[in-house]
Amino acid sequence: MDARKNCEDVAMQLLVTAVSREPPVWVKQPTWHFVYAKLINIGVAGISKGANHHDLRGKCVTDLSRILLNGQDADEDGNVGGEKFGDTPLIASRLKPWRDKKY
């Protein structure tokens, strides 16, 4: 990660999902703020502005999952985790913002 100056948040998400075994929760920000933030951030330099930034992020998910799962237990079929491509602790859920329930 130091080499890429990137992906520390993906690593954090992997760890947290590995511990909780639940998908993360999305809190929606107000639309006006979303648009406003987009507008005022135009031209701001940052690590996420590179051309291949998002390719690298995909590689990060793949690599970090393998590194984390490497050396862990094998399942009943003898498949050692992390040796197969595509294994990951991440869990997907529906893209729905969190809502406070009113009881």
Partner 1 sequence: MAKGVGVFDFAWRRVPMRWRLPGRRTRRVTAALLLVVVLLNQVTPGAWHSRSARGSSGPGEICAEHEPGSRGDAATASLRARLIAVLEERSRDVDGASEASNPTAPTNNSPQRLDDTKFTVVLNTFQRRDLLKKAVAHYARCGDVAEIRVVWSEQVPAPTENDADARLYFPNPTAKRSDRPKIKYDPHPTTSIQNRFDVKGVTTTAVFNIDDDVRMPCASLAAGFRAWRRNRNVLVGYFPRLHVWRKEMCQHQYVWDTFSMWRHGEMSIVLTKAAFMKSEYLRLYTERLPDDARKVRIARFPNPDTVYSPSLSALLVTLPVTFTSTGNCYKPTLTDSRLTLFFFTISTWTRGRTAKTWRCNFW
In angstroms, give the least distance from the CB of 30 to partner 1. 6
The structure tokens 């998910």 sit at: 61
- Measured from the CB atom, the residue of 2 and 51 that comes closer to partner 1 is 2
Side-chain half-sphere exposure of 57, counting CA atoms within 13 A: 12
In angstroms, give the least distance from the CB of 103 to partner 1. 12
- The binding track of 51-90 with respect to partner 1, each residue x by CB under 8 A or -, is ---xxxxxxxxxxxxxxxx--xxxxxx-xxxxxxxxxxxx
- Measured from the CB atom, the residue of 25 and 51 that comes closer to partner 1 is 25
Contact 1, 71 (CB under 8 A): no
In angstroms, give the least distance from the CB of 91 to partner 1. 6
CA triplet 65, 96, 102: central angle to 5 degrees? 125
The rounded distance, in Å, linking the Cα atoms of 61 and 78 is 24
By CB under 8 A, the residues from 21 to 50 that bind partner 1 are: 21-30, 33, 37, 41, 44, 46-47
